[in-house]
Amino acid sequence: MSESVLRAVYFFLCILVVTTGCSNLPERNPLPESLSDVAVIPGIEGARDWADEPPAEIDDWLNLTKDDLKKRYPATYGREHNYLAISGGGQRGAFGAGLLCGWTEAGTRPEFTVVTGVSTGALIAPFAFLGPDYDHVIREIYTSYSTTDIVKPRSGLKALFGDAATDASPLREKLAKYVDEDVMAAIAAEYKKGRVLDIVTTNLDAARPVAWNIGRIASVGTPQALQLIRDVMLASASIPAAFPPVMFEVEANAKRYDELHVDGGATSVVYLYPIGLDWGKLAEKLEVKGKPKVYILRNGVWRKDWESVERSTIPIALRSMDSLMGSAVLGDAYRIYLATQRDGIEYHLAYIPESFDEQSSEPFDKEYMTRLFNVGRQMALEGYQWKRSPPGYGIDK
């Protein structure tokens, strides 16, 4: 199925679901808005924060003594800092996976103090965080599987009156295979050194991004924590209406409720930290050596390809939706750039080159992804010159 046909089916399903308004799914017990700031994951303290505002405990953190910081962050205090932000992009995540693997082969890939992932980036981020020893995992994920290995189509009635057009149980099984107890323990060990791994989902009720602290969750070390990590990764990659949303049980005022989460890209295509957070002050407190650097992997092209749009309702709507998503990508890149300039961080950006104009034959096309993986890998091996600003600023060096 071509991407244009997929978008048409997706749009059509959305219209039908909205207009029918019926469902055979169990009723929810949604969290009331009044409790949204106090709800927690039962048994796992500090699992997540809103991704669009500074965390509530930041003032307490800033009051920590130098000795406390040295003890708590031995791998990040008084050292160089490198941050990695991996964007959404569906099967185009193969580009970021290839670039990371090629970067390792080139011998110039740094250790990342902070790694963040959104959507397809959420599937890469834990393994990028753990370093080159896990390159074989991201290579396998993005060069070995096709659509039927990731999702199963639902029947017409289930698609129309359920919560998505597909069943994501194959992807859930893949996550259980790759994210096991050893991976959780390795993430926890790095978290205890002071390194950060965040994955972003969208809280659909609030229509806000949520940043999950995967290291803190991993440090709990229970089967519940392991399942939560897998569920967060699945939720972040769950394209609304195409993939089922993920339900999280939360607790507030001694009562249990649920939250509905979907693709992090619905609210933040790429994420570094909340714009309201003064990262420069944090870096000063940690006595960061030199100037921090952020590397943004944009799993997509910078601008949409030209397309002659048919003068008809659905093609016009679909192209408009495409344009809206493209604008969201630009907005995130510019927002992060402005924040880095304010906070004294070097900005580095990579994205799929315009010269790669191949088309996929299905939503997750193994051959397409393998070719795109090789494009990213080759760019890194040849010493890719990272863009030092988003296109349009005209100040690349």
pLDDT in tens, 250-262: 999 999 999 999 9
Least confident of 133-137, 154-158, 255-259: 154-158
Answer yes or no: is pLDDT of 3 > 50: no
Quick check: pTM over 0.85?
yes
Q: How far apart are CA 226 and CA 262, in angstroms?
A: 19
For residue 20, CA distances in Å to 16, 160, 162, 223, 350 come to 6, 9, 11, 39, 43
In the predicted structure, residue 18 carries a pLDDT above the cut 50 = no
Indicate whether 278 pLDDT > 70: yes
Query: What is the average pLDDT across 32-51?
Result: 95
Question: What pLDDT is attached to residue 394?
Answer: 64
The predicted pLDDT at position 1 comes to 36
How much is the pLDDT for 92?
95
Greatest alpha-carbon span in the chain: 66
Cα dist. 225→44, 132, 283, 284 in Å? 7, 24, 29, 32
Check whether 149 has a pLDDT greater than 70: yes
- What pLDDT, on a 0 to 100 scale, did the predictor assign at position 320? 77
Q: Would you say the C-alpha torsion 31, 37, 38, 41 has a positive or negative sign?
A: positive
In percent, the amount of the chain with pLDDT more than 70 equals 89
- Evaluate if residue 295 carries a pLDDT over 60: yes
pLDDT beyond 90 at 40? yes
Question: With 50 as the cut, is the pLDDT of residue 375 above it?
Answer: yes
Residue 144 confidence (pLDDT)? 96
Quote the pLDDT of residue 164. Answer: 63
288: left (phi over 0), alpha (psi -120 to 50) or beta: beta
Among residues of the chain, what percentage have pLDDT more than 90?
Answer: 70
Rounded to an integer, what distance in angstroms lies between the CA atom of residue 41 and that of residue 249?
7
Residue 81 DSSP label: -
Instruction: Identify the three-state secondary structure at position 255.
Output: strand
Nearest Cα to 257, choosing from 27, 28, 24?
A: 28
Which residue in the block uniquely carries the two structure tokens 């970067």?
Answer: 103
pLDDT for the residue 396: 54
Give the pLDDT confidence score for residue 282 in this predicted structure: 93
Helices (H) and strands (E) in the chain, counts: 15, 11
